[in-house]
Amino acid sequence: MRILIVEDEINLATPLKKGIEKHGYAVDLAHDGKAGYDLASINPYDCIILDLNLPEMDGIEVAKKLREEGTDTPILMLTARSAQNEKIEGLEMGADDYLTKPFNYQELILRLKALIKRYHPEQTETLSAHGIELDPGKHGVTIEGDVIELNRKEFAILEYLLRNKGRVVSQEELLEKVWNQEVNIFTNTIRTQILNLRKKIDPNKNVIQTIRGVGYKIND
């Protein structure tokens, strides 16, 4: 799953990005409203964490424009403690929830998960195929009940392939859904991750199929 953080305070944004990534999300960062709006317009995010006071374009304007254009990605707005009116305005303009600064990090993660769950109830259900069970909420994978340790990317790839069970997923699609913007990436990276994933969950290569020249598929 992919998250966008729009926050101009680098001292807050950078650790926030790292913290959220630990929960298995791919995270993009924008440091002003215009850059955030541009990213949100072109990428498929599962949630946007949007600061209210931003240079170039404020958070309310960003939320308003995205909603006017039909983007329904959940928005969690970050506000200053004093800005009661702006909170209300933010919610009216399309934010789904807000958190007052300074906020508790655990609470932000809980709100983020709750928002994603509310908008994509299917995304928190356990996914399974070929004896593999993946629990997106607990971030756990088992095979026939045995716990398997996957790194973040391996987990995200497996999750995406399981969600799209029965369908071929191209490398471009995996790049778009599983990686964030700033990683300078080659298709080799995907091949390497798939190779490592297979070693852990699919040594006999009968779970993840390679469709040559097209992509990857997990059969129903």
Binding residues (CB under 5 A) for Ca ion: these are: 8, 51, 53
> 212 to each of 93, 132, 169, 170, 216, how far by Cα in Å?
46, 24, 12, 10, 8
Rounded to a whole number of angstroms, the minimum distance from the CB of residue 2 to Ca ion is 22
Please choose, from the candidates 24, 5, 25, the residue with its C-alpha nearest in 3D space to the C-alpha of residue 14: 5
CB of 101 to Ca ion, least distance (A): 9
Minimum separation from the CB atom of position 207 to Ca ion (A): 45
Least distance CB 77 / Ca ion (angstroms): 11
* Closest C-alpha among 46, 42, 81, 40 to residue 61: 40
For Ca ion, the closer of residues 20 and 197 by Cβ is 20
Nearer to Ca ion, 77 or 127 (CB): 77
Q: Which residue is nearest to Ca ion (CB)?
A: 53
Closest to Ca ion by CB, 51 or 202: 51
Q: Between 8 and 61, whose beta carbon lies closer to Ca ion? A: 8
Burial label, 122 (beta-carbon count in 10 A; 0-12, 13-18, 19+): exposed
Q: What's 24's DSSP letter?
A: T
